[in-house]
Amino acid sequence: MQKLSEVEHIKDNSDYLRGSLNESLDNRITGALFPDDTNLIKFHGSYQQTDRDLDSERKAQKLESLFSFMIRIRVPAGVATPAQWLRMDELSDQYGNGTIKLTTRQAFQLHGIRKRDLKATIRGFNDVLLDSIAGCGDVNRNVMCSPNPNESRVHQAVFEVGKAISDAFTPQTTSYYEIWLDGEQVDETQPFRTTKTEGKDVEPVYGKTYLPRKFKIALAVPPHNDTDIFANDIGLIAIQQDGELIGFNVTAGGGLGMTFGMPETYPRLGDVLGFVSVADTLAVCEAIITTQRDFGNRENRKFSRLKYTVDRMGLDAFKAEVEQRAGVAFGAAQPYEFTHNGDPLGWKTTESGKFNFTLFVEGGRIVDTPQYALRTALRAIAGIHDGDFRLTGNQNLVIGNISPEKRPAIEAIMEKYGLLNTTFNQTAMRQFALACVALNTCSQAFAEAERYLPSLLDKIDGILRQTHLDREPINIRMTGCPNGCARPYLAEIGLVGKSPGYYNLYLGGAHDGSRLNKLYLEMLDEAAILRELTPLLEAFSRERTRGEHFGDFVIRKEIVAATHHGLDFHA
């Protein structure tokens, strides 16, 4: 019998995620939760954090760490209303640190929430039909989708499937509204449903102990792999025929986290299992989830993601188990092509005659600075906008469904606050860059990421301009630790923090997100990063073939080996 990890016992004894959260919240002696509750609150969409910049100072003063909470608010398929945007903006000032983070999973994050303000904050966004249940934790998290549902009938149909998946696999415990909303009756206006039998909670998909580890689902419409399909536990690649969605190629087993010094942990791309119709998609997703529920590793959380379950079972056995559970046989995978995994910035006209504007947001951070009042500008736009806001998987923002009547006023706001210049007057590498939050709040971070990458790019931009590569879309991604939140192992240039100021450099990911990169050099400081990248970029400028991307170039030149499977990542 499998020995269970401590977290498994916490879940088992939690009474469907209640634990002692109410008692923790009522405890005014400390700004922290009871230890077990720090695990349970993740299922409710929050992480307990400290300000690591102040930890040493507070310890010297014999004070406890400055505890606060990050809340991750789900935005299924990435689409939010102007009212929801304005509420997030309001809450970020009222209870947070005055910023909004757009995540790489198309969700909102608020930072700096004190324990005493958690309930008021959650109630605040619940009032506009947003929620944070399953924002974190061992469940299916925010479902990602290509963020342009009105681009075509296919995009709209894929968006509807994404919403249906989100609804189907949201936890159904009543603990969320009991703890955070004081037990108010759940009705048709609530963004999630609950299930009880004989007055007791029931989780029909997850069971009492939920999944062994976090679970991620994404949908994409070729040729845009803007949700990084292959990095997800389940990826759904839309297949269309005569302008209509007919089904999906299903991938399974993607995931990017690993642990330094443990080569038995590795990032992995999802494998294509085959094709299923739209009608069978939910059943197949549920079968994959329950297979992971029943076969996943609950003893060691470092090996508990679906990717390890697939490799341990073997792909053929895993696929057969999914088919048996779903009552669906996979068809042959249908042809498709991805060309890139970034966001096309700027204006685009929709089929309905409205407009989308995709705005570049560096690091996904919505904040006002003396030089750039981004938050103020978006607040002004939300106040008059009659369309929607769409969070992209690349931490950018689509101001969507702009009516012809509203476009002049919205464009005037963009001009006034410099949004157009900031979106267009960047190197293509900067436009494609991703960074995780890292320091000062993430407890896992060894090094900076979001706060540091812009200044590093200032220096790399000079190299790009000298080599005439400033318009070349090279993917660069930085994380403060090897957990992979900004998907660095799919980047053409990946930088993963190893210790303060030092990073491992990875090269050779595919521009379309279909190939892993490979470790090139370890423990580089900024001078070493620039010293190593300069000759590589110069050679790329001189010797690339027509249409060749940087990731393909370093493979062709045998600078690193092509890596298609996680088991080969450390080879």
More confident position, 263 or 196: 263
Ramachandran class of 364: left when φ > 0, alpha when ψ lies in -120 to 50, beta otherwise? left
Asked if omega into 76 is within 30° of 0 (cis), the reply is: no
For residue 1, what pLDDT is reported?
A: 63
How many C-beta atoms surround the C-beta of residue 329 within 10 A? 12
The answer to whether 515 is a known catalytic residue is no
The answer to whether 285 is a known catalytic residue is no
Average pLDDT over residues 96-113: 97
* Given the residues 285, 442, 515, 518, the one annotated as active site: 442
In whole angstroms, give the CA distance from residue 274 to residue 326. 14
pLDDT digits 0-9 by tens, 393-425? 999 999 999 999 999 999 999 999 999 999 999
Per-residue tokens: 354: 């409205």
How many C-beta atoms surround the C-beta of residue 47 within 10 A? 20
The answer to whether 268 is a known catalytic residue is no
Ramachandran class of 477: left when φ > 0, alpha when ψ lies in -120 to 50, beta otherwise? beta
Residue 279: exposed, middle, or buried by beta-carbon count in 10 A (0-12, 13-18, 19+)? exposed
DSSP code, position 230:
G
Cβ density class 179-211: b for 16+ within 10 Å, e for less: bbbeeeeeeeebbbebeeeeeebbbebbeebbb
H-helix or E-strand containing 307?
Answer: helix 306-313
H-helix or E-strand containing 389?
Answer: strand 388-391
The answer to whether 68 and 112 are in contact (CB under 8 A) is: yes
Per-residue tokens: 168: 């189907």
* Given the residues 74, 105, 141, 406, the one annotated as active site: 141
The answer to whether 284 and 276 are in contact (CB under 8 A) is: yes
Average pLDDT over residues 338-366: 93
The answer to whether 72 is a known catalytic residue is yes
Residue 392: exposed, middle, or buried by beta-carbon count in 10 A (0-12, 13-18, 19+)? buried
In whole angstroms, give the CA distance from residue 157 to residue 221. 10
Report the chain's C-alpha Rg in angstroms. 23
pLDDT digits 0-9 by tens, 438-482? 999 999 999 999 999 999 999 999 999 999 999 999 999 999 999
Per-residue tokens: 163: 């919403």
Q: How confident is the model at residue 185 (pLDDT cuts 50, 70, 90)?
A: low
The answer to whether 481 is a known catalytic residue is yes
The answer to whether 407 is a known catalytic residue is no
* Given the residues 136, 319, 436, 487, the one annotated as active site: 436
* Given the residues 214, 319, 390, 487, the one annotated as active site: 214
The answer to whether 214 is a known catalytic residue is yes
> SS3 of 306, please?
helix
In whole angstroms, give the CA distance from residue 344 to residue 243. 21
Residue type, 330: F
> SS3 of 72, please?
strand
pLDDT digits 0-9 by tens, 231-270? 999 999 999 999 999 999 999 999 999 999 999 999 999 9
Least reliable range by pLDDT among 53-62, 297-306, 323-332, 492-501: 53-62
For residue 186, what pLDDT is reported?
A: 56
* Given the residues 136, 145, 285, 485, the one annotated as active site: 485
Residue 519: exposed, middle, or buried by beta-carbon count in 10 A (0-12, 13-18, 19+)? middle
Asked if omega into 223 is within 30° of 0 (cis), the reply is: yes
DSSP code, position 278:
G
For residue 257, what pLDDT is reported?
A: 96
In whole angstroms, give the CA distance from residue 504 to residue 490. 14
CA distances from 415 to 381, 391, 410, 419 (A): 12, 21, 9, 6
pLDDT at 149 over 90: no
β-strand pairing of 365-366 with 355-359: unpaired
In whole angstroms, give the CA distance from residue 221 to residue 337. 10
For residue 287, what pLDDT is reported?
A: 98
H-helix or E-strand containing 518?
Answer: strand 518-524
Domains and CATH numbers, the chain: 6-183+206-326 (3.30.413.10), 346-424 (3.90.480.10), 429-568 (3.30.413.10)
The answer to whether 101 is a known catalytic residue is no
* Given the residues 481, 487, 498, 518, the one annotated as active site: 481
DSSP code, position 523:
E
Residue 235: exposed, middle, or buried by beta-carbon count in 10 A (0-12, 13-18, 19+)? buried
* Given the residues 42, 72, 268, 487, the one annotated as active site: 72
